[in-house]
Amino acid sequence: MAVSKITDSVFSVGAIDWDRQLFDELIPLPDGTSYNAYIIKGRERIALIDTVDPSKEDALLRNLRHLGIDRIDYVVSNHAEQDHSGAIPAILELFPESKVVTNPKCKEFLKELLLVPDERFIEVADGEELSLGDKTLRFIYTPWVHWPETMSTYLVEDRILFSCDFFGSHRASSCICVGDKCKVLQDAKRYYAEIMMPFRLQIRKNIEKLAGYDIQFIAPSHGPVYDKPEWIIEAYKDWISDRVEKKVVIGYVSMHGSTQAIVDYLVDKFAESGVFVMPMNLTVADTGELAMELVDAGALVFASPYVLAGAHPGVVYAAYLANALRPKVKCIGAVFSYGWGGRGNAQIKELLANIKAEFLEPVMIKGYPKERDLDALDSFVDDVIQRLPD
Ligand code: FEO
């Protein structure tokens, strides 16, 4: 990423990772990502807001040189995860007078994860301010977006919120600000789904806390800067609300076609009833897409053959992930095609114990669905629809 100017005193100096395909060795990145870092030039002092992933340390240092930065007084660490903190040791070495400014929880993480020595820290409290001369940084604790120590930094005079992962999106782009709003919205929703969704109740409190701030820009640490931040805040408000759509996500695996036939029948029935239905073949589905669909789905259904005396491992994996993501679905159901027996439904129910949703009676079909099985599937569809909004 070349250096980009946001205001006369604020510059983006982070790195674009065009080629990264996986995050946390788990999350697919179809649009790459960026690790944003920002320089704030105050009249008396210079601050760097977050750093970059260690793999892109060279790009950060190159951008600082390009901007003519020969002094950094403060390295603000909003979040200790290494994609933002990983280059802090290099900055501290290059600028021996610099201090890491962060909250006590983040300090402990940085000491443990990156071996930053205790004497290099300045601890800040929630709401505390730090002057750069003519610029003022205010630190706002915003925990659980998505670690317990996460905070945001507000640049008072320029009305910029540096939110780190909060409001971020995995998108590599040479444009500093949002260009294609629809694409960024999808990326931000995917990002929310993958790491923020389990914490939506805590995020509510953070959004309420930010309501008192006049924000002209949100500058996150992944993806573009929001120069019109209202729409992403409104999108978040919707995602964290209790509102669900008239939508069913069906995660399934079919080995020999029986489960596929069941899913095809369910899809037709839901669609005929005016329900938006999203079948996802879990052997090929992008788990990020699955997470994203669950952000506002009203119902989650798993369909699986019995294999090894239980649900298919592909379904088990998806159920495990869904449980960790804790979507706000109102009901959960399961449909099985079995040969001789097993404990698939109990297994799925146990796996989804974190989700506060009603579990419907499962449908068990021996082998391929026959005419006599269709009544049970029809009842199942009715049960799901009754629990969806109109
Ligand atoms: Fe982008 Fe939680 O790190």
Closest CA to 297 of 325, 266, 335: 325
d(CA 160, CA 250): 41
What's 196's domain CATH number? 3.60.15.10
Closest CA to 224 of 23, 62, 33, 29: 33
Model pTM? 0.96
Atom of ligand 1 nearest to the CA of 146: 2
Does 269 share its domain with 332? yes
On the question of pLDDT at 191 being above 80, the answer is yes
Nearest CA to ligand 1 atom 1: 165
Distance (angstroms) between ligand 1 centre and the Cα of 389 equals 34
CA angle 182, 179, 17 (to 5 degrees): 95
d(CA 15, CA 325): 29
Average pLDDT on 275-289 reads 97
Terminal-to-terminal C-alpha distance of the chain: 46
Does 121 share its domain with 264? no
d(CA 219, CA 17): 17
pLDDT in tens, 43-83: 999 999 999 999 999 999 999 999 999 999 999 999 999 99
Distance (angstroms) between ligand 1 centre and the Cα of 130 equals 24
pLDDT in tens, 309-354: 999 999 999 999 999 999 999 999 999 999 998 889 999 999 999 9
φ and ψ of 130, to 5 deg: -135, 130
Atom of ligand 1 nearest to the CA of 221: 1
Collapse the DSSP code of 15 into the 3-class scheme (helix H, G, I; strand E, B; otherwise coil) and give the result.
strand
pLDDT at 342: 81
Does 217 share its domain with 144? yes
Q: For residue 147, is it within any domain?
A: yes
Q: For residue 26, is it within any domain?
A: yes
pLDDT at 44: 98
Nearest CA to ligand 1 atom 2: 81
Q: Is 83 in the pocket of ligand 1 (CB under 6 A)?
A: yes
Q: Is 222 in the pocket of ligand 1 (CB under 6 A)?
A: yes
- How far does CA 361 lie from the centroid of its chain? 32
Atom of ligand 1 nearest to the CA of 195: 2
Atom of ligand 1 nearest to the CA of 168: 1
On the question of pLDDT at 243 being above 80, the answer is yes
Does 79 share its domain with 202? yes
Does 233 share its domain with 301? no
Does 30 share its domain with 140? yes
Q: For residue 322, is it within any domain?
A: yes
Distance (angstroms) between ligand 1 centre and the Cα of 355 equals 24
Distance (angstroms) between ligand 1 centre and the Cα of 320 equals 22
Q: Is 312 in the pocket of ligand 1 (CB under 6 A)?
A: no
What's 363's domain CATH number? 3.40.50.360
Does 102 share its domain with 227? yes
Residue entry with tokens 């146990």: 350
pLDDT at 124: 98
Nearest CA to ligand 1 atom 3: 81
Q: For residue 389, is it within any domain?
A: no
Does 50 share its domain with 158? yes
* Bridge partner list, 5: 11
Distance (angstroms) between ligand 1 centre and the Cα of 241 equals 23
73 half-sphere exposure, CB direction, 13 A CA radius: 13
Collapse the DSSP code of 172 into the 3-class scheme (helix H, G, I; strand E, B; otherwise coil) and give the result.
coil
Closest CA to 136 of 10, 22, 245: 10
Task: Determine contact, residues 280/293, Cβ cutoff 8 Å.
Answer: yes
On the question of pLDDT at 2 being above 90, the answer is no
Distances (CA, A) of 351 to 196, 250, 279, 307, 315: 20, 16, 20, 17, 10
Does 22 share its domain with 156? yes
Distance (angstroms) between ligand 1 centre and the Cα of 307 equals 37
Does 236 share its domain with 273? no
Does 267 share its domain with 130? no
Among the candidates 207, 240, 273, a domain finishes at 240
pLDDT band of residue 1 (cuts 50, 70, 90) is low
Question: What tokens appear for 251 in the block?
Answer: 């995660």
Q: Is 84 in the pocket of ligand 1 (CB under 6 A)?
A: yes
φ and ψ of 100, to 5 deg: -90, 125
Distance (angstroms) between ligand 1 centre and the Cα of 370 equals 49
Ordered strands of the 10-12 beta sheet: 4-7, 10-12, 38-41, 46-49, 74-76, 99-102, 121-123
Average pLDDT on 260-278 reads 98
Q: Is 17 in the pocket of ligand 1 (CB under 6 A)?
A: no
Does 146 share its domain with 43? yes
Task: Determine contact, residues 40/46, Cβ cutoff 8 Å.
Answer: yes
d(CA 334, CA 350): 13
The residues near 118 (Cβ < 8 Å, ≥ 6 apart) are: 111
Among the candidates 240, 272, 299, a domain finishes at 240
Helices (H), the chain: 57-66, 82-85, 88-94, 104-114, 181-191, 200-210, 230-240, 258-272, 287-294, 313-325, 344-351, 374-386
Q: Is 79 in the pocket of ligand 1 (CB under 6 A)?
A: yes
Q: For residue 84, is it within any domain?
A: yes
Q: For residue 374, is it within any domain?
A: yes
On the question of pLDDT at 271 being above 90, the answer is yes
Give one DSSP letter per residue of 37-89, joined into a string: -EEEE-SS-EEEE----GGGHHHHHHHHHHTT-----EEE-S--SHHHHTTHH
On the question of pLDDT at 209 being above 90, the answer is yes
Distance (angstroms) between ligand 1 centre and the Cα of 85 equals 9
Percentage, residues of the chain above pLDDT 70 = 100
d(CA 343, CA 241): 34
pLDDT band of residue 307 (cuts 50, 70, 90) is very high
pLDDT at 341: 82
pLDDT at 321: 97
- The mean predicted confidence, pLDDT, of the chain is 97
Among the candidates 176, 211, 240, a domain finishes at 240
pLDDT at 266: 98
Q: For residue 157, is it within any domain?
A: yes
Based on the structure, what is the number of domains in the chain? Answer: 2
On the question of pLDDT at 270 being above 80, the answer is yes
Helix, strand, coil percentages for the chain (3-state, nearest 5): 35, 25, 40
d(CA 369, CA 295): 31
Domain of 372 in residue numbering reads as 247-384
Burial of 251 (0-12, 13-18, 19+ CB in 10 A): buried
How many other CB atoms are found less than 10 A from the CB of residue 258? 20
Q: For residue 291, is it within any domain?
A: yes
